[in-house]
Amino acid sequence: MEQTLFQKYGGFSKVSRIVLDLYDRLLDDDEVGPFFDEVDMARIVDHQTKFVSSLLGGPASYTDDQIAKMHRHLAIHTRHFDSLATILAETLADHGMEPDDIEAVVKAFDQRRNLVVD
């Protein structure tokens, strides 16, 4: 049986560290940081840990409807999504993920673009 990226990179404990680092970076970013001004960060980190885990082939997942509903009230534009994708890729690289694996994760992320971009 082929190992998932989720297994390869250490499961929830590693993904949790990646997501915490990702949010530190997102909060510092002028493009996407303001989206998190009025957000319960513990809740969003929990959701994102599950979401990123699913991008890596882990057990947690969200339906397209759930993703769209969670972002419907936000005015997320292409530039915001692109910034987030870039920061995600940089974060994954800094946590030791191989380039081909980063590409696969960012591609899986990008496949959900139409669910969140206004």
72-103 confidence digits (pLDDT tens): 888 899 999 999 999 999 999 999 999 999 99
Q: What is the pLDDT of residues 9-38, one digit of tens each?
A: 999 999 999 999 999 999 999 999 998 888
Number of domains in the chain: 1
57: in domain: yes
pLDDT at 87: 96
What pLDDT was estimated at residue 61? 75
CATH number of the domain where residue 95 is located: 1.10.490.10
Q: What DSSP designation does 63 have?
A: -
Instruction: Let me know if residue 3 belongs to a domain.
Output: no
Residue 5 domain flag: no
* Residue 90 included in any domain: yes
Query: Is 98 within the bounds of a domain?
Result: yes
1: in domain: no
Range(s) of the domain holding residue 85? 10-116
DSSP state of 32: T
3-class DSSP state of 57? coil
Q: Is residue 48 part of a domain?
A: yes
- The Cα 85–Cα 80 span in angstroms is 9
Question: pTM, whole model, 2 decimals?
Answer: 0.90
